[in-house]
Amino acid sequence: MPTHASRAQNTVKASASCKVETISPDWLLECKNRGTMIPPDAFKLPPLHGLNVCITGFVLESEICAREAMPGHISSLGGTYLKDMHKGQCTHLIAHSAQGAKYTWVHSPLAVDS
């Protein structure tokens, strides 16, 4: 059974291969206001737009460089990097592997909003 992370990765790959882009809902309003469909170029959103991302599991010396680069990568893709995972703030977790405290917490009943 695929994990949430692999399903998300497959969705991103499928979107990229089909050249699907994310655009702001403002594009629809602008089209409505003008009475015609306009090019969406000015309304394109980066892939991680609106996401608050935390990372976990990058601990080996060979992975430290990747861990230190992650906040910049996340930001350049439109997301917000969160050092700590707080319920109600973090929307996505990038895990090096399916283990660790943050990964375990995400899969616990405590992480689910009631």
Global pTM exceeds 0.75: no
Which of 102, 109, 5 is CA-nearest to residue 57? 102
Answer yes or no: is pLDDT of 74 > 60: yes
Task: At 86, give phi and psi (nearest 5°).
Answer: -120, 135
Counting the structural domains of the chain, the total is 2
Q: Which domain holds residue 24?
A: 1-45
DSSP state of 96: S
Whole-number pLDDT of residue 85: 83
Question: Is residue 74 a part of any domain in this protein?
Answer: yes
Question: Is residue 114 a part of any domain in this protein?
Answer: no
What average pLDDT does the chain have? 80
Q: For residue 1, what are its two tokens?
A: 């059974």
Q: What are the distances in angstroms from CA 93 to CA 46, 51, 58, 61?
A: 18, 10, 12, 21
pLDDT in tens, 10-30: 555 555 667 778 899 999 999
Are 63 and 25 spatial neighbours (Cβ–Cβ below 8 Å)?
A: no
Answer yes or no: is pLDDT of 66 > 80: no
Question: Is residue 53 a part of any domain in this protein?
Answer: yes
